[in-house]
Chain A
């Protein structure tokens, strides 16, 4: 601040350099208000209007969208898909992540390189990963699809992503492939920070590796696992990229998640109020689920 400005408003200069918390909090609070609270409030306000698709006029009708959303079969289907998608992806990513982390938790030569390799899938943008899997799952020429067809599990030219019963597993394959390494890295960080003494004591007492894993490793890793699940869980509840690129919510609504449904209403039907209602519902779901999870597993962030 210039001397002239300080002279004009001496209280401001004193306030900024004081030990009062406000000067420190204000910038963050302002950013939070502009980028967090305002869009949220704006989205909520828009849910209170009904849009006439023919005239594009917005009519104040506060309960219209909220009543509609709870009676909307597609929303319930999307909610169910979102929960299945999140649950299945989490289980696979967690189990595979832990398994691979245990295999890579070694100081022997070459393991460091292998750990570094695990980051490769993470640097590919999800939309590009989705395109890769879209091609690999193509029933006519995709390498994964052809492999499965070759084993006889699927008939010739079977379209994995074009079939209602196999599309969701197909999309999940891309999701799991890309994000399992994230779990591996978190688990590895946790494993490598565990103290050695309890394991040595257990070995002297004759504990097997399996016993040591269930009685020592898992309990000591519980906080790390909980945080990893929380981070991935929040991300998975907002699943969009893979669904958009690989199936565009189809076939029918077989892979439609809450975010992709909201996107379709927003960008396809241009019904902003109703799309905002679904988006807010997704936010509420994320908040409730993560709060419940943090309480249940005593996670403190």
Chain B
């Protein structure tokens, strides 16, 4: 199958998935299908149902969308030589990207620089970036880099701090690099002392619960793994007859989402993915305990969990199927959406704590064990771009204070900048309703205290998308290992240690 063919098929699938998850409207879905060369009969159209809004976006008023006048002036002043340039990058359909895609017209209007954002599934973002850097093609001017790929692509990006200092004529006034939350810079952008890009997106694990259900059963909001497990079991037992489970998981076999769940379980039990001598340690005592506990949670989750990614997990919360979730904070605004049947019923607290954490010094490849798994991303400036300066302008604009606040207001997700958390407009939306920001104080606390980070190593993108979640899928769905967590992890250890040794890391 050609890359183009693969691309088209996954584009169609992704658009369909987005439509099913109500992230895009029927109009957008049909437009995308049209782009992919797909036609619909009247019958098919009937199957698509009615138009629903993007779950994270709420009405925020025109004022919030108005671009800061000084920003517009600066863009006009510096962009002259780049008028007519087109810059491209590819990204997953994360909330900030979706909102930025809507706002980018303002940048084009001020600069004359066109921006094309290809929104594709995560694995395609990785594939496209990989192909680009492998051939040093410069097809993409910016790279959207998931935190698990930063080490892989760090050699292919330009350090934004260095570039900012080297090009004072293109340096955006008031960029204020210290405004980026330090844990985010350390956990996301920094690799071997270099900024591989600018932090752009920070979904992070927090604990979320249905307050009505917990109150009904007189359960206090859980703060520890043990309390969470006990509550999950109790709710499943009491509510299963009503179609409700204690928790829901993003345990789709072979998907990165399962890897995220698993890493958190390992860290919660005091383990790590690698030891300081660069050996896989998911099969040590703490790792096994973590996986066994996850198997326990799976028994108290909707069976569809083993075929669900973060989308499915969000749906479980939205449909009232689960009462507790230890997962991405980004779920929260959607549950408060105007058409949500659980509006105002979910609450967020800092992620549950488990056993004492393994020290960072005892973990390998820059891994940071902690209770709040972060799944953030950065925007990296491609070394191979043919329009570096135009892309640099866009990158600064996209990560500026003004745009970050407006992206947060547009979707309710966590910003990267401390000033965005403190912004009055953001604070004003800390109420129940579409695009709520009422979970953000908890998110900031989690970022400052609990942020965890997966290993920074070039092979991690492959391990976390293939070897680990595939083996976990085999275990959780009964395809292999006979339910034995140790057997599963020993198998993963053998594969990973061999690959690490072969690569010479």
Interface residues of A (CB under 8 A from B): 39, 52-56, 120, 123-128, 130-132, 135, 138-141, 157-159, 161-165, 167, 238, 240-241, 244-245, 247-254, 259, 263-272, 279
Contact B20 A251 (CB under 8 A): no
Assembly CA distance A279 to B10 (angstroms)? 18
In the complex, chain B residues whose CB is within 8 Å of the CB of A267: 6, 123-124, 126-127
The verdict on B51 contacting chain A, using a C-beta distance below 8 Å, is no
Determine how close the nearest CB of chain B comes to the CB of A266; give it in whole angstroms: 7
- 12 residue pairs from A and B, CB less than 8 Å apart: A54-B458, A55-B458, A128-B12, A128-B33, A141-B319, A240-B1, A250-B470, A251-B306, A252-B477, A265-B466, A267-B124, A268-B466
Given contacts A139-B304, A161-B307, A251-B306, 8 further A-B contacts (CB under 8 A): A53-B503, A54-B505, A125-B38, A127-B13, A140-B304, A244-B13, A250-B470, A267-B127
Q: Indicate which residue in A126, A162, A268 contacts B307 across the interface (CB closer than 8 Å).
A: A162
Rank and list the top 5 A-B pairs by shortest CB-CB distance, nearest first. A250-B253, A252-B474, A251-B477, A162-B307, A164-B479
Instruction: Say yes or no: A268 contacts B126, CB within 8 Å.
Output: yes
In contact, A158 and B303 (Cβ under 8 angstroms): yes
Give per-residue flags for B464-505: 1 if the beta carbon is below 8 A from chain A beta carbons, else 0: 011000110111111110000000000000000001001111
Evaluate whether A138 and B10 lie within 8 angstroms (CB atoms) in the complex, with A251-B253, A268-B465, A270-B462 already known: no
Contacts of B124 in A (CB 8 A): 267
In B288-346, the 8 Å CB interface with A consists of: 302-308, 319, 321
B236 to chain A, nearest CB (A): 12
- By beta carbon, the residue of chain B nearest A238 is B1
- Chain B residue nearest to A272 (CB atoms) is B134
Given contacts A53-B458, A125-B38, A131-B17, are A157 and B476 in contact (CB under 8 A)? no
CA of A263 to CA of B465, assembled, Å: 12
Complex contact B13–A164 (CB within 8 A): no
**For the complex, is B439 an interface residue (Cβ under 8 Å from A)?**
no
The answer to whether the Cβ of B386 comes within 8 Å of any Cβ in the partner chain is: no
> Which of B39-47, B201-209, B377-385 participates in binding chain A?
B39-47
Distance of A204 Cα from B399 Cα, bound (Å):
86
B contact face: mostly helix, strand, loop, or mixed? helix
Is the CB of B102 closer than 8 A to any CB of chain A?
Answer: no
Residue in B closest to A170 when the chains form the complex, CB atoms: B307
Contact A159:B306 (CB < 8 A) given known A263-B1, A270-B462? yes
B302 touches A254 (CB 8 A): no
Is A120's CB under 8 angstroms from B474's CB?
no
Contact A53 B459 (CB under 8 A): yes
> Which of A241, A251, A254 has the most chain B CB atoms closer than 10 A to its own CB?
A251
Is there an interface contact between B477 and A250, defined as CB atoms closer than 8 Å? Answer: yes
Q: Which residue of B lies closest to A282 (CB)?
A: B1
Q: Mark B1-35, 1 if CB is under 8 A from A, else 0.
A: 11000100110110011001000000000000100
CB distance from B4 to the nearest CB of A (A): 12
A contact residues around B308 at 8 Å (CB): 162
Are A128 and B302 within 8 A (Cβ)?
no
Say whether A264 contacts B12, CB under 8 Å: no
CB within 8 A of B123: which of A250, A268, A272?
Answer: A268
Closest Cβ of chain A to B309, distance in Å, is 9
Contact A123 B39 (CB under 8 A): yes
A250 touches B252 (CB 8 A): yes
Chain B residues with Cβ below 8 Å from A271 are: 462
The closest CB in chain A to the CB of B3 belongs to: A266
If A53-B459, A128-B38, A253-B474 touch, whether A159 touches B13 (CB-CB below 8 Å) is: no
B401 at the interface (CB under 8 A from A): no
Q: Are B9 and A270 within 8 A (Cβ)?
A: no
Residues in B whose Cβ lies below 8 Å from that of A269: 461-462, 465-466
Q: In the assembly, what is the distance between CA of A271 and CA of B152, in Å? A: 13
CB distance from A225 to the nearest CB of B (A): 28
Whether A162 contacts B303 by the Cβ 8 Å rule is yes
Chain B, residue nearest A135 (CB)? B20
Contact B459 A54 (CB under 8 A): yes
Asked, given contacts A53-B458, A125-B38, A244-B10, whether A253 binds B470 with beta carbons under 8 Å apart, the answer is: yes
Q: Which residues of A contact B123 (CB under 8 A)?
A: 267-268
- B1, B33, B305 — most chain A CB neighbours (10 Å): B1
Q: How far is the CA of A123 from the CA of B123 in the complex (A)?
A: 28
A157 and B302 within 8 A (CB): yes
- Cβ–Cβ contact B9 & A240, under 8 A: yes
Q: How far is the CB of B389 from chain A (nearest CB, A)?
A: 27
B187 within 8 A of A: no
Distance from B486 Cβ to chain A, minimum over Cβ atoms (Å): 17
Note all chain A residues with C-beta closer than 8 A to B243.
157
The answer to whether A252 touches B504, judged by C-beta atoms less than 8 angstroms apart, is no
Chain B's nearest CB lies how many Å from the CB of A260? 10
In the assembled complex, how far is the CB of residue B404 from the closest CB belonging to chain A, in whole angstroms?
30
Chain A residue nearest in CB terms to B130:
A270
Closest to B481 in A: A252
- Check A54/B470 contact, CB under 8 A, given A159-B307, A163-B477, A251-B477: no
Given the complex of chains A and B, what is the CA–CA distance between A135 and B21 in angstroms?
11
Given that A161-B307, A162-B304 are known contacts, is A270 also in contact with B127, CB under 8 Å in the complex?
yes
Q: Does B222 contact A (CB under 8 A)?
A: no
Cα distance, A38 to B421, chains bound together (Å): 55
Q: How far is the CA of A245 from the CA of B10 in the complex (A)?
A: 8
Q: Does B254 contact A (CB under 8 A)?
A: yes
A244 near B126 with CB under 8 A, answer no
Residues of A with C-beta under 8 A to B505: 54
By a CB distance below 8 angstroms, the chain B residues around A120 are 41, 43
Residue B211 interfacial (CB < 8 Å)? no
**Residue in chain B with minimal CB distance to A131:** B16
Give the complex CA separation of A250 and B462 in angstroms.
Answer: 16
- Which residue of the partner chain B has the closest CB to A35? B2
Q: Is the C-beta of B255 less than 8 angstroms from some C-beta in chain A?
A: yes
- The smallest beta-carbon distance between A280 and chain B, in angstroms, is 12
Given A244-B10, A250-B470, is A53 in contact with B462 using a C-beta cutoff of 8 Å?
yes
When C-beta atoms are compared, the residue in chain B nearest to A279 turns out to be B1
**Assembled-state Cα–Cα distance A253/B12 (Å):** 23
B478 near A163: Cβ-Cβ < 8 Å: yes
